[in-house]
Structure 1
Amino acid sequence: MTGYAAYALPIATALVGVWLVWTAVRYVRADKGTRVSMRQAVRVRWGWVRLARMAGLTVTDKTPSLLAQITAQKDSPPPSPRVLTPKIKVKPDQYGVTVQARTLPQVGLEEYQKSARFLSDAWRCTRVSVLPDGPGKVVIRGVRSDPLTTPTRHRPTGRPPADLTRWELGVDEYAAKVCVSLANVPGVTVAGVPGAGKTSGVNKFVCDFAPSPAVQIATVDGKVSRASEGDYADLVKRMFAFCGDDLDEANALFKRLVELRKRRSATIRDVLGVKNMWHVGPSPEWPLTVLIIDEAHTFFREYKGSDTTTKRLAALTAENARLVEDLVKKGRSVGILVILISQKTTGDAIPTFIRDVCPIGLSFAQKTVEAAVAALGEDIRNWPDASPVTLQDPAYVGVAVMAMQGRPGYTRIRTPYVSDADAARVAEETSHLTSDPDLCLNALLRSTSRTTTPLPSLTK
């Protein structure tokens, strides 16, 4: 042992040196925000014992430790009580720090949550949240800068998503990634005033899923007349169908997709061997078919008048509502998803028999509480701090509100911006993956020795 002792100090010095070099390299390579967070993490670690005592996050243990009991003399006074401090691990990132902490008897989740405002002040954070992290653990999230007011950009990788049921929306007010599951989801509603970020958020969805041949997209845009116009002009190459504000063209596309839904419903058991496509997942032969309806109120508007033209338009919009209702209520199990976008999702814009069936609802900035209630439900009145009415400041362009499963109340989400150049690049690189889902079904039925009658094609 004496011989090895001579090597202990050099080895320890070398290990410390390696750790210092590794830390320095991380610090130099980090962005400006992460560097500030790394310094903040050091302050959190060094000041934790003192701060925990001041915040009431310690517990006094009057029972002597085992070592104290063994070494105690018979007539010696009892040892002093021990003050136990929870152990923590600190991880910095661009926005702040994430602290994993242990619980102690009488110092649990509730005590940490009560002390959140003290931790926020001590750590110089904009806000602090405390959530459970498994038995005997909590995770404390402190953000130094507000993620909601920090614009972010998203550059699509061009690679197929690993999970086609996972839609990554952005980050919440604590810079945590927000994802929703698309499995068994028949419809999504997106609301918000003009320029609030609705279409940009949907553009990200298209760019992320475009590299997968198991996703096919059709779009109806009430803001334009031709595919070369508007927000989707750069993405139309990756869409198997597109039409503008022409009610007749939109009606024809809705009919076409309803016929696809009927054919899929009639053949799904024989072809896929299941009643629900999501039990096996989308595939190039049976792709997830997404219908995007932008400015949805254009196609569901109630026309009032007795002249021939008005009556014809009224009949068209009424039929449009019936057809889209069919897709939303019956298309879930066969892999059809409808995304409806409108400034307000009130009953006159999107019929309630369609809107209320869509389980996912997002709302960007709104001007009235009534519009927020239409988009998110009556319960948003009980959460005024999360209401989209508070997002009218230009700093909140691109921020949406939604109800998340497993979380109380509502979550505010910063959706990233995708540039037109990146959108055009992705559409160009993935245009060869565009395929008509009806033709895919024909090929699949032929491969299983079944016959089918193809539907008439719809020119883009």
Structure 2
Amino acid sequence: MTDLATLLEVGGPVAALGGGAAYARAKHPGVYWSTVGLPISTVRLLSSYSSVMEACGLTVAPSRLRVLAVKVTTRREVRPVPPRRGIIRPTTTGLRVRLRLAPGQEPADVAASAERLRHAWGVHAVYVSTVKPGVVELRLVGFDVLRTVRMPGKLHPDLLRVPVALREDATPFVRDYRTVPHQLTLGATLSGKSMYLRHLVAGLARQSVALVGIDCKRGVELAPFAPRLSALATDPDQAAELLPVLIKEMEERYDLIKARQGVAPSTPDEEITSDIWGLPEHERPVPVVLFVDEVAELFLVATKKDEERRDEMVTQLIRLAQLGRAAGIYLEVCGQRFGAELGKGATMLRAQLTGRVCHRVNDEASAKMALGDIAPEAVAAACAIAPERPGLAVAGDTSGGWYRIRTPYLSLGDAAETCRESAHLVPDLPALKPFRPDVPVRPTVETPDPVVWPRPVTD
């Protein structure tokens, strides 16, 4: 009986702790990492750092001075030298540690061993980034941060910079139009493409930016944001009228830039500009972001009569993509399907779209159209996205880099409410006023009369 009581006293708490840790790891991985995973991974890293570096081939032969000092002082065996490790900095999602590479090493050597380091230290993933020449940073992620997306608390949105998703290395994915002016976003039905678009519109709605939409699904995607839109076209006929107006707006802005360039010879060089951002703030026109949803609808034609209109619209989109950046006009082209078979101008338009975001698609050709020309290995990652994970996507740009991202949930009502609250920020662009969407008036709720009318109390 005494042995049973002792077993219950000792085994009961141990079983409770083990069960609680297993439950936290499955349901609340962030809590499990902060309480259990972080200490264990830190001990593993500190205790096995030298041996793991040697096993991964990340060590170099010691210098002659080091060999001589070891033989004189300790007379022990001289071992290869690993990269010098910096201070381990814990985070809510993992660990960060900087390594100073030994002579003859390069960041690619460490990146090639990232999978080995992940298994050796028992973490979910290891990512390598270059801090400066000779110094790399290892970002160890303790759990799958894309399973339940929680955006970092300290985000600082700026003009034309919108944090819209979380990257797989637990850093925010920021859509920066100043750096990547135009982007192609693809995704099948229920893939999360609309959620990504909502975050973009809601983030830009709070900024001094003109939002223009072309939604050929009769406006079902962009119409809820009408209070904040400067212009909206809901079918190809309206788009054919709106695009020439944007082209004319772009040409007028170029005239403004050229007028600024024709200044007196005594003008300082820093005041001579080639885009709107070099203009004085009081002369600078407001940036314009054009959202094109279901871009395939602009390419598809039913009769030969529509081919001329199609070719004209595609040419205007290509011109905006080629020349719009300097004029402060940016494109966000979205669609379920995009391929060369859409017709003339499809690949030319794609070539001008620097950024690429590919959600789950229904065919490999769309993934190749989005990512095949910048990172062929990213095509397989995009095709492997499961339907059970809406919002998961592969993002990249024409520099060749790519990574997985996932957009957090944002309801359509919350995004529409943000647009209604920021309706006063709609800039005054006379050329776009004929295309301003009608904003429905919200019905006022009348309070019913009370059943019992109050009476004053008398003495």
TM-score for the superposition, normalised by structure 2: 0.73
Alignment of 1:242-257 (within 5 A): 242-245=232-235, 247-257=236-246
> Using the alignment, how far apart are the partners of 2:89 and 2:153 within structure 1?
25
Provide the C-alpha distance between the structure 1 equivalents of 2:254 and 2:391, rounded to a whole number of angstroms: 37
Shift of 1:431: 0.4
1:293, CA displacement in angstroms? 1.1
CA distance in 1: counterparts of 2:112 and 2:372, whole angstroms: 29
Native 8 Å contact 1:64 1:79 kept in 2 = no
Distance apart, 1:380 and its partner CA: 4.3
When residues 186 and 129 of structure 1 are mapped into structure 2, their CA distance, relative to the original with a 3 A threshold, is closer
Match of 2:169 in 1: 174
Residues 105-158 of structure 1: CA deviation (Å, up to 9, x unaligned): 57764554454334312332222223333244321122232233334479999x
* Number of the residue aligned with 1:43: 40
Residue in structure 2 matched with residue 222 of structure 1 by the alignment: 216
User: Aligned ranges for residues 398-437 of structure 1 at < 5 Å?
Assistant: 398-404=391-397, 408-437=400-429
The amino acid of 2:210's aligned partner reads Q
How far does residue 336 in structure 1 lie from its aligned partner after superposition? 0.9
SS across alignment from 2:88: strand
SS where residue 266 of structure 1 aligns? Answer: helix
Residues in 1 aligned to 2:152 and 2:100: alpha-carbon distance in whole angstroms: 35
- Find the residue that maps to 1:224 and give its secondary structure: coil
Out of 301, 309, 321, which is 1:316 matched to? 309
Residue 325 of structure 1 and its aligned partner are, at CA, apart by 2.6
Tell me the SS of whatever aligns to 1:150: coil
Are 2:259 and 1:270 aligned? yes
Alignment root-mean-square deviation, CA:
3.6
Partner of 2:434: 457
**2:374–2:398 contact (8 Å) kept in structure 1:** no
AA of the residue aligned to 1:411: Y
In 1, Cα distance between equivalents of 2:73 and 2:244: 89
Identity percentage over the alignment? 23
Matched, 1:192 2:184: no
Q: What whole-Å deviation, never above 9, does each CA across 1:317-362 have from its counterpart, x for those lacking one?
A: 2322232233222222111112211112213447233222222222
The TM-score, its normalising length taken from structure 1, stands at 0.73
Q: How does 1:50-199 map to 2 (within 5 A)?
A: 50-55=47-52, 56=54, 79-80=75-76, 86-104=84-102, 109=107, 112-152=110-150, 161-164=157-160, 166-183=161-178, 187-199=182-194
- CA-CA distance at 1:222 after TM superposition: 1.1
Task: Give secondary structure in 1 for the equivalent of 2:132.
Answer: coil
| From 367, 374, 391, the counterpart of 1:372 | 367
- Separation in structure 2 between the aligned mates of residue 419 and residue 353 of structure 1, nearest angstrom: 35
2:393 is matched by which residue type in structure 1?
A
Mapped contact 1:95–1:145 kept (Cα < 8 A): yes
Q: Following TM superposition, by how much is the alpha carbon of 1:47 offset from its aligned partner in structure 2, in angstroms?
A: 3.3
Q: Secondary structure at the match of 1:299?
A: helix
Structure 2 contact 127–140 (Cα < 8 Å) conserved: yes
Q: Name which of 224, 229, 232 aligns with 2:222.
A: 232
**3-state SS, counterpart of residue 435 of structure 1:** coil
How do 1:302-381 and structure 2 match up within 5 A?
302-305=301-304, 311=305, 313-349=306-342, 351-378=346-373, 380-381=375-376
- What residue ranges of structure 1 are gaps of 5+ in the alignment? 1-30, 306-310, 440-453
> Can you list the C-alpha shifts for 1:63-109, whole angstroms capped at 9, x where unaligned?
7889x89xx9xxx9864356666333223334322222343457764
- The equivalent residue for 1:13 is none
CA distance in 1 between counterparts of 2:216 and 2:357 reads 19
Shift of 1:217: 0.5
| Alpha-carbon distance in structure 2 between the residues aligned to 1:346 and 1:108 | 39
Shift of 1:418: 2.1
Deviations 1:404-454 (A, max 9, x none): 466x553222223322233123212210010243x3xxxxxxxxxxxxxx6
Using the alignment, how far apart are the partners of 2:106 and 2:432 within structure 1? 62
Unaligned runs of 5+ in 2: 1-27, 262-271, 438-459
Give the residue type in structure 2 aligned to 1:45. Answer: T
Question: Does the Cα contact within 8 Å between 1:128 and 1:143 map onto a contact in 2?
Answer: yes
Is the 8 Å Cα contact of residues 45 and 121 (structure 2) preserved in structure 1?
Answer: no
Partners of 1:173 and 1:413 within 8 A in 2: yes
